[in-house]
Each structure stands twice: as C-alpha cells, then as structure tokens.
Amino acid sequence: MTAHGAVETPAFMPVGTAGAVKGITPQQLKETGADIVLANTYHLLLRPGVDVVEKLGGLHKFMAWNYPILTDSGGYQIFSLSPLSKVSDNGVEFASHIDGAKISLNAESVINAQNRLGADIITCLDQCAPFPVGTDELKKAVQRTIFWARRAKQAHSNPKQLLFGIVQGGINLQLRTYCALELVKSGFDGYAIGGLSVGEGHDNMIRSVTHTTGLLPPDKPRYLMGVGTPADIIAAVRAGVDMFDCVLPTRNGRNAFAFTENGPLRLRNNTHINAAEPIEAGCDCYCCRNFNRGTIRHFFNSEEMLGPILVSLHNLRFYQRLMAKIRECLKRNEFADWAAKQIRKYETFGSLKNDKINSANSS
C-alpha cells in the first residue's frame, strides 16, 4: 500500500522518464491497466527542476496521475552517462547532457529531491557498474552503494514515502550477497535489484536475480530495475521478483515493433500492406479495437504520429495483460507449469529475447 493506493503485484511500471510516458495521456495509460508509473529523478532535476515541480503542485499533479509513482534515483545515469560523470565516495558530478552545466548529486541531495517531488516510492542513489567490469571496480561500486544507502536512509524525511535500497554487484554472487545483507541490516521498505540488463545476458541475469531474491525479506517488495522482455519478466517472477519497469513497450512501439502472444510483428513490413486484421486478435486495447495492421503500417510510412502512439498503447496493454495472467496463475497455484511453457514459447520467437530490441533504461 502506498499513499496513493495499492499496487497489485507482480506489477509492471511504464516508464515516464521526464514526467510523461511518451505519446500517451495519463487516462490512456490507466486504461491499459497500469497501477503505477516510474519517473526519473535525474531528468526531472535537469528539467524543469524540483522547484518548478513543487510550484506546479508536486509530481502527481504535474503528471496528472493520482496513482502511485516510483522515482528512480539517477544512479543508472552514472552508468549510461559515464563519459559525462565523475564518481567518488562523496557522490557524482555530471556535465548535463542538455547544456553541459555542472551538476553534483549525493546520497542526501537525491533523497531531498525525491522527498520534494513527492513520489510514493523513492530510491537510494546507487552506482551501476558496466558489464564486463573488473572485480576491484565492482567492489567499489558495491561499497559506495551501501554507503550511500545508509546516508540516504538518514536523510529521508517524508514518512509517507516508501524508501527502497538498491542491491548492486553485477553477476558476482559473492558481492550480491554482501550488498543485499548489508542493506537488509539497515532495513528498507523494499529492495531493488540494479545493475542488470546491461549486457550480461538472460541466463546470467536470472542466475543473479534468483540468488539475490533469496537473500531479501519475503515480506518486502523486490523490484528488478530496467527489465525487460516477456521471457525475462516471467523468469524473474519465478525467481521471486514483484516489480518491474522497462522502456520496451513504448520504445519499440515507436519503432513499429508490436508484442503479441504469437510472436513479434514489425509493422513496416510489406506483408502488412493489405492486412485487415488487428495487431492481435482478442486484444482489448484501443488500437486493436479500432485499427488494422494495414492502416497502422500506413501511419508509420507516412510519418503520422498516430502510428507510434497506437503501437505503444497496444504494447503497454500487452504487458499489463501479461502481468494480470501471471497474477491469476499465481493465485491458482498454476504458475510454475504455465511459466515454463511460456518461456519456451517466447524463446522460439527470438526477437522477444533482444533481437534488435533496445532495452536501455530510458523512455
């Protein structure tokens, strides 16, 4: 339960990096079945700034979303914008990717910003190491993550917000153990698993996730950051994960890539010129109820903005339907058999396992 309502888990959070899910209104987003969305502290700090969000009524009013919101800490940007950043135990210094302005973040300032933004769930500043990476560098990232988490908990000043610590350690199970146990000692409202989906591959990721979830309190939410494909999500739920976020539904939707139960569709292909069927038979999304593949292909090839919007809506609904099916199977104690079959099916599609799918953690 959060200050803006309950979140049924396992849950998928659409990504609204700068306060909006690209091309999607909040009403449309709610109609896809989303209970919670993610926004990015780093990007909101740069534009429009915390002061502006506060003056405009706080993050929920700013986003016109009166439901739960999670803000990530900006730690991923230490990784993704590494050529523009300098990291030390004190924090991180950025050269803004927008105008080059110098920005400094530390454990306390990140928490203060999130306290002021007003998200329901906030996260500690962490350091996500690249893959592959040397053991010494990975150890430093883990030690900083723990150090910053302790400072973040001390700085946290809004009791209405849940604070999640983030477990780092790459695919090094010993470092994952160390980081997880140290964070559990400090005690957080939930625990995120970071530093994955950065090139280590599905098997390494699931091995690391399975190991890590076993170290975390079963009565606290466990959140796998930036993941992922349908097969990744099902395998991670099987490993004990409760929460997910990823840009795949919208980023791929904007590139005419649709997720379906029968495999991916690339809607720019000539095979769809005269296709009168919807993206997916039986899908109840706005796109599938009103448009056919041929029309959608035309929108993309004519550079009509409706094309990316429609496929994004379908993909968002596909992910929420997937999560609803997972929850149903769990309630019926049918998840294990269903999951094994689904993962085998998705693996045969290939492209649902990162064939030209961009899974970078931004919207």
CA atoms of 149 and 142, how far apart (whole Å)? 11
H or E stretch including 167? Answer: strand 162-167
Name the residue type at position 9.
Answer: T
- DSSP-derived letter for residue 302 is T
Q: Which two tokens stand for residue 297?
A: 């292909």
Q: Read off the pLDDT band of 363 (50, 70, 90).
A: low
CA atoms of 113 and 48, how far apart (whole Å)? 13
pLDDT of residue 100: 80
Q: What does the longest C-alpha to C-alpha distance in the chain come to?
A: 61
Write out the catalytic residue numbers: 72, 245
265 half-sphere exposure, CB direction, 13 A CA radius: 28
Contacts of 336 (CB under 8 A, 6+ apart): 238
Decide if pLDDT at 354 tops 50: no
User: Percent of the chain at pLDDT above 70?
Assistant: 95
Q: What is the dihedral of CA 223, 33, 362, 298, to 10 degrees?
A: 150
CATH of domain 12-246: 3.20.20.105
- DSSP-derived letter for residue 82 is G
Decide if pLDDT at 294 tops 70: yes
pTM of full prediction above 0.85: yes
CA atoms of 194 and 138, how far apart (whole Å)? 13
Digit-coded pLDDT (tens) for 169-190: 999 999 999 999 999 999 999 9
Place of tokens 């990007």: 43
277 half-sphere exposure, CB direction, 13 A CA radius: 8
Q: Read off the pLDDT band of 358 (50, 70, 90).
A: very low
Q: Residue 263, Cβ neighbours under 10 Å: how many?
A: 14
For the chain, give every domain's residue range: 12-246, 252-353
Q: What is the DSSP string of 140-161?
A: HHHHHHHHHHHHHHHH---TTS
pLDDT of residue 297: 98
Handedness of CA 157, 159, 162, 165 (dihedral sign): positive
Of 91-100, 176-185, 221-230, 307-316, the one with minimum mean pLDDT is: 91-100
Return mean pLDDT, the chain: 94
Of 83-87, 146-150, 153-157, 242-246, the one with minimum mean pLDDT is: 83-87
CA atoms of 25 and 140, how far apart (whole Å)? 41
pLDDT of residue 350: 60
- Decide if 361 contacts 123 (C-beta within 8 A): no
- DSSP-derived letter for residue 2 is B
